A and B are shown apart, each in its own frame.
Chain A
Amino acid sequence: MGNSVLEIRNLKKGFDGNGVLDGISLAMGDGEVVVVVGPSGCGKSTLLRCVNGLETPDSGEILLDGAPIGGMDMVQVRRQIGMVFQSYDLFPHMDVLGNLSLGPVKALKRPKAQVEAEAVEALGRVGLADKLHALPRQLSGGQKQRVALVRAMLMQPRLLLLDEITAALDPEMVREVLNVVLDLARDGRTMLIVTHEMRFAEAVADRVLFLEHGRIVEEGQPAEFFHHPRTERARAFLDTFEFDTVKKT
């Protein structure tokens, strides 16, 4: 891969002596969608949090467009990396428009009128045109996460990190959020996604990483990984999502 948007070299991170990430290396090309799956506590979220500097790695290197972020101002780095979290992280004291324009106007110092016009347009694309002045508490979980995605995208990030963005949603709302992510993938957005939705992972991923105990155990094309996993560990993990072979009696 010639020009990596994101490159991670031998990343290690521990909390209080417990190794959470144990030497992760990864390179992502422009427009590539990489999905990270693995059991709870395998380090998936920590990996994403290290990439945008919410956690500081113990060792290893992270490069954004070829430049190591270790030597850069993290605020500048985060302006190029969008992130959406599992919890509903909209700002509850601002309406939807306020949430959408805060980053571009305050962090990027872009003209307010222009940002708001973009916000209205982007909100329409995710089917929330009528929620422009709604407060977060008036929205459903699925609507909040769609707003959070739009908020991240309005920063025009080089890379988008999605950390289990549907994990806290009621099942009937998962689809509306994942459709937005699929649209972003079709638009050629570079995304690093952590998810427990295996069917979605298969649909959206260009490449799948299977993480366990802070290491990449298996890496491959989605069709290959989900239907013919090479490692026993990956097979066992994928089996936990299947109920075909489970019988009550």
Chain B
Amino acid sequence: MRDLAVLFKGNNPARLLGGLGVTLKLSLVSVALSVALGLAVGVLMTLKNPVIRAVMRLWLETVRIVPQLVLLFLVYFGMAKAFNLQMSGETAAVIVFTFWGAGEMGDLVRGAITSIPRHQSDSGAALGLTRGQVWRFVLLPQAGRRLVPQAINLATRMIKTTSLVMLIGVVEVLKVGSQIIDAARYDAPQGAVWVYGAVFLLYFLACWPISLLARHLEKRWAC
């Protein structure tokens, strides 16, 4: 219990919060890029063109099958060696998470669009709405309602997965935690449980409200 003090030693609280800041910044940028790209990708995924379909399929399978850590190493170390491309860990992280997130988001968008029954667009057309109006008033609002809760869940997954970037040298909240534990190895040998506990709590505080929001929207928009 006495090792709990390590958490509040010096500027440790501020360092941990700073680390959380890095985690959230990386997540936010990657999520924002993923959503923007994913919307376009999702529409592409609904097209019947065989070439586009194959490319999209390959992309989606890649990000599903290859562990994110491997992608991070590939971009951060592999690219540096192969093309003499030096980039910061954060840049590599944003590239990998956006590559992953946009693929997954695209698949969610595709699913939301294709899950709307054909007779919905028929009824809209039968009411004399133009094609654009059918999309705007009938199809997109329904697709959006199905999409938003799932997209939020994807965002929380991305926030959690950013913990991997400590392995390419980015100092985010988990890395700060490890540094604090290492520094206090002799003063507070039992410190790890408290520090990791605090990291757990910080992730929880970041993701829990988002999850609640997703669940709330899901209930409210159930059709």
A residues with a Cβ closer than 8 A to B are 52, 54, 75-76, 78-79, 81-83, 85, 87, 89-93, 102-103, 106-108, 136-137, 148, 151-152, 155
Contacts and interface: CB of A to CB of B under 8 A. Distances in A.
B117 interface: yes
A85 B221 contact: no
A89 B124 CA distance: 9
A52 B126 contact: yes
B125 interface: yes
Contacts of B208: none
Interface of B: 117, 119-120, 122-130, 133, 137-138, 141-142, 145, 221-223
A83 B129 contact: no
B121 to A, nearest CB: 10
Contacts of B117: 87
B127 A151 contact: yes
B133 A89 contact: no
A91 B123 contact: yes
Nearest to B126: A83
A93 B133 contact: no
Contacts, number: 66
B221 A103 contact: no
A contact patch SS: mixed
Contact of A85 (B123, B129, B145, B222): B123
Given A82-B126, A103-B129, A152-B127, 7 more contacts: A75-B129, A83-B123, A89-B120, A103-B128, A107-B133, A137-B223, A152-B126
A151 B138 CA distance: 15
B137 A102 contact: yes
A78 B223 contact: no
A25 to B, nearest CB: 24
A8 to B, nearest CB: 18
B197 to A, nearest CB: 43
A106 B137 contact: yes
A93 B145 contact: yes
A81 to B, nearest CB: 8
Contacts of A93: 141-142, 145, 221, 223
Contacts of A81: 126
A93 B71 CA distance: 40
Contact of B128 (A85, A87, A108, A137): A108
B87 to A, nearest CB: 44
B133 A106 contact: yes
